[in-house]
């Protein structure tokens, strides 16, 4: 029933049958999970100079590219620490303090969320707060609140990015995205769209799933999850299904990983 939706935030779990199914928007440019370690090895070997440092239990990694351009890879917005959300936030803040404490020599920053599994939206907003000198609207979100009839939603909830007083970087930023940029990786992408100076997005459309997952249990013990929220830019635009498009479209890794159908140059 849910496969035609092609939505990563839909799932059905039948525990007694030991069966589960999660949706997905197919994309010929997606890398398989076994290919991502090869891709990250290419980054370390060919582009990062002087090694790469790991933070937040390996979910954040930082190194330097040619010259004085930093490279920050974020693979998830969560699981940074054992414990509640405040523990995750504290670990992230400490990592960002360490990264940006000596940011003055940086003349640019590349943020890579091409393989991001998602997590907690506010952690992405925390990173965005280190990259701006001015307050701006990240996005608004509404939730459907009726079962029948025409769609009806709650009043918009505004999510803002406020400049942090802790160490950060206000210079030129490039964001790398792709079809394996999921969920909180996509809301993070939206949270950077209002930043000044503008951030350049390079790569491919993100996966196209933004809502928190609404979970319910059926009478037979099966459980399911589905999205019931819409995230919008300040202009009112939503990217559900299609994903956030890049400013500059570019495929990646095909030459280094052996190519494949639908893949273009790295």
* pLDDT single digits (tens) 8-67: 999 999 999 999 999 999 888 889 889 999 999 999 999 999 889 999 999 999 999 987
Report which of 30, 29, 75 is spatially closest to residue 52, judged by C-alpha positions.
Answer: 75
Q: Average of pLDDT values for 178-199?
A: 97
Among left, alpha and beta (phi > 0; psi -120 to 50; other), residue 243 is left
266 part of a folded domain: no
107 part of a folded domain: yes
Query: What's the CA gap between 22 and 24, in Å, rounded?
Result: 7
Binned at pLDDT 50, 70 and 90, residue 246 comes out as very high
263 part of a folded domain: no
The CATH number of whichever domain residue 8 belongs to comes to 3.90.226.10
Give the residue numbers spanning the domain of 156.
3-255
8 part of a folded domain: yes
| Structural domains in the chain (count) | 1
pLDDT, tens digit (0-9, with 9 covering 90-100), for 89-139? 999 999 999 999 987 789 999 999 999 999 999 999 999 999 999 999 999
Q: Which residue shows structure tokens 């609207």?
A: 137
35 part of a folded domain: yes
Q: Which residue shows structure tokens 């907003």?
A: 125
97 part of a folded domain: yes
Q: Record the tokens describing residue 156, joined without a space.
A: 């918009």
SS3 of residue 109 by DSSP: strand
264 part of a folded domain: no
- Report the predicted TM-score, pTM, of the whole model to 2 decimal places: 0.92
Query: What's the CA gap between 29 and 235, in Å, rounded?
Result: 29
Q: Which residue shows structure tokens 């495929």?
A: 251
Query: What's the CA gap between 27 and 205, in Å, rounded?
Result: 10
Please determine, for residue 264, whether its predicted confidence score (pLDDT) is greater than 70.
Answer: no
Alpha helices in the chain (DSSP H): 36-46, 85-100, 121-129, 184-191, 254-257
Please determine, for residue 260, whether its predicted confidence score (pLDDT) is greater than 50.
Answer: no
SS3 of residue 3 by DSSP: helix
pLDDT, tens digit (0-9, with 9 covering 90-100), for 50-94? 889 999 999 999 999 987 999 999 999 999 999 899 999 999 999
260 part of a folded domain: no
């Amino acid at each position: 029933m849910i496969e035609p939706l092609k939505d990563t935030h839909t799932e059905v779990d039948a525990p007694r049958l030991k069966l589960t199914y999660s949706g997905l928007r197919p994309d010929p440019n997606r890398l398989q999970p076994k290919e991502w370690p090869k891709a990250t090895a290419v980054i370390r070997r060919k582009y990062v100079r002087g090694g790469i440092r790991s933070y937040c239990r390996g979910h954040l990694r930082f190194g330097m590219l040619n010259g004085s351009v930093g490279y920050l890879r974020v693979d998830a917005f969560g699981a940074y620490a054992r414990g509640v959300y405040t523990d995750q936030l504290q670990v992230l803040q400490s990592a960002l303090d360490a990264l940006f404490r000596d940011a003055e020599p940086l003349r640019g920053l590349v943020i890579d969320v091409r393989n991001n599994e998602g997590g907690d939206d506010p952690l992405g907003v925390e990173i965005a707060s280190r990259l701006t000198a001015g307050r701006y609207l990240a996005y608004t979100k509404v939730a459907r609140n009726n079962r029948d009839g025409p769609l009806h939603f709650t009043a918009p909830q505004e999510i803002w990015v406020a400049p942090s007083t802790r160490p950060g970087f206000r210079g030129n930023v490039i964001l790398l995205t792709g079809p394996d940029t999921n969920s909180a990786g996509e809301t993070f992408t939206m949270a950077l769209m209002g930043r000044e100076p503008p951030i350049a997005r390079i790569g491919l459309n993100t996966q196209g799933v933004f809502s928190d997952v609404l979970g319910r249990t059926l009478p037979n013990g099966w459980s399911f999850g589905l999205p019931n929220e819409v995230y919008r830019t300040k202009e009112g635009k939503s990217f559900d299904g299609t994903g956030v498009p890049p400013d500059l479209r570019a495929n990646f890794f095909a030459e280094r990983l052996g190519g494949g159908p639908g893949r273009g140059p790295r």
